[in-house]
Amino acid sequence: MSASEIRPLRVALLGCGTVGGAVLRLISEQAHDLTARIGRPVEVAGIAVRRPAHHPDVPQHLLTTDAHALVTRDDVDLVVEVIGGIEPARTLILAAFEAGKSVVSANKALLADDGVALHAAAAKSGVDLYYEAAVAGAIPLLRPLRESLAGDQLRRVVGIVNGTTNYILSRMAETGAGFAEALAEATDLGYAEADPTADVDGFDAAAKAAILASLAFHTPVTAADVHREGISSVSATDVARAAEIGCTVKLLAICERVPNGDGDSVAVRVHPAMIPTAHPLASVGGAFNAVFVEAEAAGQLMFYGQGAGGEPTASAVLGDLVAVARNRLAGAAGQGPSGYADLAVRPMAETPTRYHVSLDVADKPGVLATVAHAFAEHGVSISTVRQNGRGDAATLVIVTHSAPDASLSATIAALRDMPAVRGVTSVLRVEGLS
Amino acid sequence: MSASEIRPLRVALLGCGTVGGAVLRLISEQAHDLTARIGRPVEVAGIAVRRPAHHPDVPQHLLTTDAHALVTRDDVDLVVEVIGGIEPARTLILAAFEAGKSVVSANKALLADDGVALHAAAAKSGVDLYYEAAVAGAIPLLRPLRESLAGDQLRRVVGIVNGTTNYILSRMAETGAGFAEALAEATDLGYAEADPTADVDGFDAAAKAAILASLAFHTPVTAADVHREGISSVSATDVARAAEIGCTVKLLAICERVPNGDGDSVAVRVHPAMIPTAHPLASVGGAFNAVFVEAEAAGQLMFYGQGAGGEPTASAVLGDLVAVARNRLAGAAGQGPSGYADLAVRPMAETPTRYHVSLDVADKPGVLATVAHAFAEHGVSISTVRQNGRGDAATLVIVTHSAPDASLSATIAALRDMPAVRGVTSVLRVEGLS
């Protein structure tokens, strides 16, 4: 065996926070197994960080602030990018490709923003870009979508892919607390960041939805294509109303193939919704993630596990690292995702959804007829109505059938203007009802 | 583009029952997508069946009774084996390898029996052997274990991998019926075969457990290594007792890495067990399958979906078909599973388990002490005891801590011989209790 055959595969690590630190530790702890599984030892060639002084626990000779020099070094074979954010991650990944190095990334924002260009650059250089860790942490999801289901036709992918919002909504359901109170608790416990915008307003989930939809439907989808609503307007009333109809409120990332006369389209959206408590996603509590998949032949599948955290995310990074290392030794890059189907992305206004609406109305004859008329006028058909009288006032709780989202929101606007309606106390979409 | 570049990839289909028929239909229905995903059209070159007259609905010119001639034909590129059973499947697969053709199989019995030799033969010929469909039907499981978790260390894989027994146990819990009654219902509804032995006695689950353990622990495990107990001795009393302690009875396939002073070993077993109703596996009802995985870094994962049926199984077969087709076009076989760890398989007698025991005893002072002494004598520590008096008799319900299975079964034997014990009314292992 020549010296070059036993030379270890050398990895450049970009970023050494929670995930990077866990990657570093696992590479060292599992050295024996990684060598056996790859067929060659793996070693860390260098670690790029902004402030070396903040990393007293890692071998100091590996630290560098010059990430660009590190990824292009001749003795580096593979790059692991766990910096996050758009820049400098994008530039560094492209530089790695140019230098012939495969990249494993956990960067959902970048992949959701610019996945097509990055994949094209990887393909041009004949190297790999893998990113299982970018969606739902440790849960094997992208590889099953890309490979295991490659012979099937996907209909829907519905996921709870953000642990922070799932924790907040779980606590609201358990304690009856409002959003602000549950968020404060999540922040205290470290489940929400000091600036919770990315989680609470759905940006994180929207990036993941874009990645999932791209793979599921062989269609380029970016975060900008995703209709996004966060959970800050979910009220304790919404959560209570959900419980009354046997539902629970979850922030869902929903990727659907919508059949169309002149060719299917895809609809991708992130918003809070009521789902029946019997739905497999309803019992996914706290910081866990789960993704529910419906395919023509496979039927219903669910993938469940830890969606964040250093160790779980590092597990997904290392799985990809083994794959790209094997590909490198085999001398061939793996097949990237395909965008051949290139389906149109359907605007939210035209996407079929269902609403749950709760109204305070005057309890007098004809109110239900007036309200029902408003729905009918907008072409929205009603599935169920429940009327609870109380003195001179009453509550109407209405669940609609499926209709274009714009028709539903126009109906709500009309209801708000109606003299017979004293208040629209809760509006939330409903998913998974038969 | 030369003619050879656009020649379709040609598939030999061995077997055309429920799964084979679905594979045939999907290849035709999804021709456009398969072509795009593989980069070359796929077409069926021939279908080997025993009785062509039984298949009036498939193109008659494709049918042949000479499976061996079909798999070795020069114009065949890939082989899909959905005959099941050991022979002639094994001989045909080996002939396909010799002729340079990759094989996709759904044959759990064969893989569990002879996986090592088959993989060696595939590797020698530089071709692929994929079999995602062999375990848990449509659920992407083997690829995640082999690839996604390749950078992690697996601790346990616990699955509900047989739909027939899960249906029977679910019905027993719902209706209070005994095993025989629930089996009769399952047979009437077509959920159990006329000869239900393979399902009911755990042979099917044991084959799947062997395949899962081999992949999870990088160690060759065959069906003969798996401790196997079926569900025919599960009584209505067992199911009722389980409910009393907040548990449900499931037939579990359990693959564990057991830490040892002088090197870890693996324990692989299939038996009915009580699990807490809050455990994610407890709510897997009817004919569904689910597999729960615990890994060092990834933590807890669960995979859920349809474990059987023509369409779901065909989905898994087609996913593999796309993978082996791509590999063939790339000119390189994928990496087979590795057995490098080669851990010892621990006998059931030495495997740590926990028991739930229900005893009818005389309600007089000192009985509990006598019974507790029998446990202590065998080195078994008791976790909880519940005593219910009723006249001159009483019931003792005992849950043990973990102990070697032989110590537990010796304790039960001693209890049966004890004058103070009128009857051992229920004995079942317990899993997933903290």
Q: What's the length of chain A?
A: 434
CA distances from B310 to A41, A92, B64, B138, B400 (A): 43, 47, 22, 10, 42
Q: Which of B151, B299, B322 has its CB closest to that of A150?
A: B322
Q: Answer yes or no: do B116 and B227 share one domain.
A: no
Q: Which of residues 318-377 of A touch B (CB under 8 A)?
A: 318-323, 326, 330-332, 335, 338, 340-341
Q: Answer yes or no: do A37 and A99 share one domain.
A: yes
The mean pLDDT of A422-431, rounded to a whole number, is 95
Q: Answer yes or no: do A146 and A128 share one domain.
A: no
pLDDT attached to residue B4:
47
pLDDT, tens digit (0-9, with 9 covering 90-100), for A205-236: 999 999 999 999 999 999 999 999 999 999 99
Which residue matches tokens 């922070």? Answer: A164
What are B54's two structure tokens?
């039984």
pLDDT, tens digit (0-9, with 9 covering 90-100), for A8-58: 999 999 999 999 999 999 999 999 999 999 999 999 999 999 999 999 999
- For residue B18, list chain A residues with Cβ-Cβ distance below 8 A: none
In a domain, residue A338? The reply is no
Kind of pairing, strands A154-160 and A247-258? antiparallel
In a domain, residue A341? The reply is no
CA-CA-CA-CA dihedral for A309, A310, A316, A318, to nearest 10:
-170
pLDDT attached to residue A5:
54
A2 pLDDT band (50/70/90 cuts)? very low
- Output phi, psi for B166, to 5 deg: -70, -35
Q: Answer yes or no: do B159 and B302 share one domain.
A: yes
Name the domain count of chain B.
Answer: 3
Q: Is B294 on the interface with A (CB under 8 A)?
A: no
CATH code of B277's domain:
3.30.360.10
Classify residue B425 as exposed, middle or buried by CB count within 10 Å of its CB (0-12, 13-18, 19+).
middle
Catalytic site residue from B101, B208, B250, B364: B208
pLDDT, tens digit (0-9, with 9 covering 90-100), for A285-303: 887 999 999 999 999 999 9
In a domain, residue A1? The reply is no
Q: Answer yes or no: do B149 and B279 share one domain.
A: yes
CA–CA dist B93, B79 (Å, integer): 8
Which DSSP string do the residues of B375-416 spell out, in sequence order? HHHTTPPEEEEEEEEETTEEEEEEEE--EEHHHHHHHHHHHH
Q: Encode burial over B91-102: b for 16+ CB neighbours within 10 A, e otherwise.
A: ebbbbbbeeebb
CA–CA dist A61, B153 (Å, integer): 28
Asked if B299 and A305 come within 8 Å (Cβ–Cβ), the reply is yes
- For residue B282, list chain A residues with Cβ-Cβ distance below 8 A: none
The mean pLDDT of A165-189, rounded to a whole number, is 96
Is a pLDDT exceeding 70 seen at residue A137? Answer: yes
Is the bond preceding A41 in cis, omega lying within 30 degrees of 0? no
pLDDT attached to residue B5:
54
What are B247's two structure tokens?
């548990």
pLDDT along chain B (434 residues), means of 10: 69 97 96 94 97 95 98 97 97 98 97 96 97 95 94 96 96 96 95 93 98 97 97 96 95 95 92 94 90 96 94 97 94 85 95 96 87 96 88 89 96 94 95 85
Residue B208 known to be catalytic:
yes
In a domain, residue B413? The reply is yes
Is the bond preceding A59 in cis, omega lying within 30 degrees of 0? no
Q: Which domain holds residue B247?
A: 142-306
Q: Known binder of ligand: residue B21? A: yes
Is a pLDDT exceeding 90 seen at residue A387? Answer: no
Classify residue A235 as exposed, middle or buried by CB count within 10 Å of its CB (0-12, 13-18, 19+).
middle
Q: Is B140 on the interface with A (CB under 8 A)?
A: yes
A434 pLDDT band (50/70/90 cuts)? confident
Q: Which of B139, B301, B341 has its CB closest to that of A301?
A: B139
Q: Answer yes or no: do A275 and A187 share one domain.
A: yes
Q: Known binder of ligand: residue B19? A: yes
A337 pLDDT band (50/70/90 cuts)? confident
Three-state DSSP class for B3? helix
CA-CA-CA-CA dihedral for A8, A14, A15, A19, to nearest 10:
-60
Three-state DSSP class for A73? coil
In a domain, residue B290? The reply is yes
What are A61's two structure tokens?
């000779």
Which residue matches tokens 């309200």? Answer: A371
CA–CA dist B27, B10 (Å, integer): 11
Q: Answer yes or no: do B294 and B147 share one domain.
A: yes
Which residue matches tokens 């036709």? Answer: A153
ipTM summary value: 0.92
- Output phi, psi for A141, to 5 deg: -140, -50
A98 pLDDT band (50/70/90 cuts)? very high
Q: Is B19 on the interface with A (CB under 8 A)?
A: no
pLDDT attached to residue B332:
83
Q: Known binder of ligand: residue B175? A: no
Cβ–Cβ contacts within 10 Å for residue A218, how many?
Answer: 21
Q: Where are the alpha helices (DSSP H) in A50-135?
A: 67-72, 89-98, 108-125
- Identify the domain boundary among A306, A338, A365: A306
In this structure, which amino acid lies at residue A81?
E
Q: Answer yes or no: do A88 and A29 share one domain.
A: yes
- Identify the domain boundary among A271, A306, A341: A306
In a domain, residue B401? The reply is yes
Q: Answer yes or no: do B299 and B167 share one domain.
A: yes
Which residue matches tokens 């609809």? Answer: A267
- Output phi, psi for B146, to 5 deg: -70, -35
Which DSSP string do the residues of B221-258 spell out, in sequence order? --GGGSEE--STT--HHHHHHHHHTTEEEEEEEEEEEE
In a domain, residue B337? The reply is no
In a domain, residue A367? The reply is yes
Q: Answer yes or no: do B152 and B280 share one domain.
A: yes
Q: Which of B132, B143, B312 has its CB closest to that of A297?
A: B312
Q: Answer yes or no: do A194 and A271 share one domain.
A: yes
CA–CA dist B247, B91 (Å, integer): 45
CATH code of B115's domain:
3.40.50.720
Q: Answer yes or no: do A267 and A375 share one domain.
A: no
pLDDT attached to residue B393:
82
CATH code of B425's domain:
3.30.70.260
Asked if B295 and A138 come within 8 Å (Cβ–Cβ), the reply is yes
CA–CA dist B318, B76 (Å, integer): 17
